Structure 1
Amino acid sequence: MNTSLIPCTLNDLDCLRELCIQTFTQTFGATASQADLNEYLTSAYSTEVLASELADPNSFTYFALAGSTVAGYLKLNVGSAQTEEIGPDALEVQRIYVLKDFKKYGIGRLFMEKALATAKEHGTTTIWLGVWEHNTDALGFYRHFGFTQFGSHDFPIATEPQTDLLMSRPVHLPAVTPAF
């Protein structure tokens, strides 16, 4: 399957919002009550929140295209856009989501290569992310790319407590190509 990445802009706001809701629901829908999930989706992925994120010069959002179909998205942050104070020389992979039907086509690898390239472009030395402690597929994926855990933080979905593991890796490590 031919896959590519394109920048997401304010013109793509409706598509991005729909994709955010769909991918988050596919990933976490079974772990929270419907009320909590709806509350989270409404607040985290409102058009106002997403428009603000897209307008932030320290955030970068990309769509993955599988052929001509939007199959996932990536959101990166540097500087003040990072969700944790890791440092000025760090890049955060805040969101990396692929629609269920497009997993195992190398889109995650493309996203990680883009994240590493963006980190180098911005002169950062560390790339980091948070991942749900029970998302074993994602944990394995990140470990293949050389990420190791350095901490954790709470990630509540409305009233449902969740724990994200914080993982990082030096930017200068060679990219590892996972065997999936």
Structure 2
Amino acid sequence: MSDSTEPVADLTATHIRRAHAGDAGALALAGAATFLETFAGILHGRDIVEHCRAQHAVEVYSAWLADPACASWLAETDRGDAPVGYAVVAPAKLPLADVSDDDLELKRIYLLSRFHGGGVGRELMRHAVAESRARGARRLLLGVYAGNARALAFYARNGFRQVGERSFQVGRNTYGDAILALHLHE
């Protein structure tokens, strides 16, 4: 222990930037960490591990980063650039009868819980919505675990409304998701 009276830096200070090809490893780490943190104790542990191994592999993020139809942002600490959250927007691939080419999907938006409540999630969402509008999207769609009350409340505060449901496979089990939409040009 130090006797120093020097002020301690705010460890929750972050910045958000557009992700680039070299960020696949950081996105994969943040993806697996935030998924584990969000769903440990809610979903079966074996399913979480299997899901993270497959869906949060570096190759998944590398493919998104290489695809000009996708956009990603990375939230990092101001102290050492540790990845703490991220968002990914991609062409919509959700089971809705009216999905069209002018819809985009918020594939992922996650943030470590110690950074909740400080505006970082809202800022990640702002980037995703601005990008979707700039691309001329009609709607920004997303799928969210129907039992994730905190996420559902966050999306509702950001103007999303439920437009459907889907089954979502995590490991060996299937869970219910709500499909939400934000209409971008009303």
For normalisation by structure 2, the TM-score amounts to 0.84
Partner residue of 2:94 out of 84, 88, 94: 84
Any idea what the Cα deviations from partners look like across 1:34-82, whole Å, max 9, x if unmatched? 222221111112222221121111111111134244321001113xxx3
Among all aligned residue pairs of Structure 1 and Structure 2, give the percentage whose two residues are the same amino acid.
28
**Runs of 5+ unmatched residues, structure 2:** 1-11
Aligned residue in 1 for 2:34: 23
Q: What letter corresponds to residue 102 of structure 1 in structure 2?
A: F
Q: What letter corresponds to residue 29 of structure 1 in structure 2?
A: A
- Equivalent-residue separation in structure 1 for 2:182 and 2:28 (angstroms): 29
Task: Show structure 1 runs of 4+ deviating over 4 A.
Answer: none
**Runs of 5+ unmatched residues, structure 1:** 174-180
Q: How many residues align?
A: 170
Q: More helix per residue: 1 or 2?
A: 1
Task: Tell me if the contact between 2:143 and 2:178 (Cα under 8 Å) persists in the aligned partners.
Answer: yes
- Equivalent-residue separation in structure 2 for 1:64 and 1:37 (angstroms): 23
In the alignment, is residue 156 of structure 1 matched against residue 142 of structure 2? Answer: no
- Equivalent-residue separation in structure 2 for 1:88 and 1:117 (angstroms): 18
In the alignment, is residue 12 of structure 1 matched against residue 23 of structure 2? Answer: yes
CA RMSD of aligned residues (A): 1.6
* 3-state secondary structure, aligned to 1:94: strand
Q: What letter corresponds to residue 27 of structure 1 in structure 2?
A: T
Aligned residue in 1 for 2:139: 126
Aligned residue in 1 for 2:9: none
- Equivalent-residue separation in structure 1 for 2:160 and 2:69 (angstroms): 22
Q: What letter corresponds to residue 172 of structure 1 in structure 2?
A: H
Task: Tell me if the contact between 2:16 and 2:73 (Cα under 8 Å) persists in the aligned partners.
Answer: yes
Any idea what the Cα deviations from partners look like across 1:134-174, whole Å, max 9, x if unmatched? 1101111111122111101111111122111001021135x
Structure (1 or 2) with the larger CA radius of gyration: 2
In the alignment, is residue 109 of structure 1 matched against residue 122 of structure 2? Answer: yes
Any idea what the Cα deviations from partners look like across 1:21-46, whole Å, max 9, x if unmatched? 10000011222332222211111122
Aligned residue in 2 for 1:137: 150
Partner residue of 2:72 out of 61, 75, 83: 61
In the alignment, is residue 98 of structure 1 matched against residue 111 of structure 2? Answer: yes
Q: What letter corresponds to residue 101 of structure 1 in structure 2?
A: R
- Equivalent-residue separation in structure 1 for 2:67 and 2:35 (angstroms): 22
- Equivalent-residue separation in structure 2 for 1:26 and 1:2 (angstroms): 20
Partner residue of 1:73 out of 86, 89, 94: 86
- Equivalent-residue separation in structure 1 for 2:77 and 2:59 (angstroms): 28
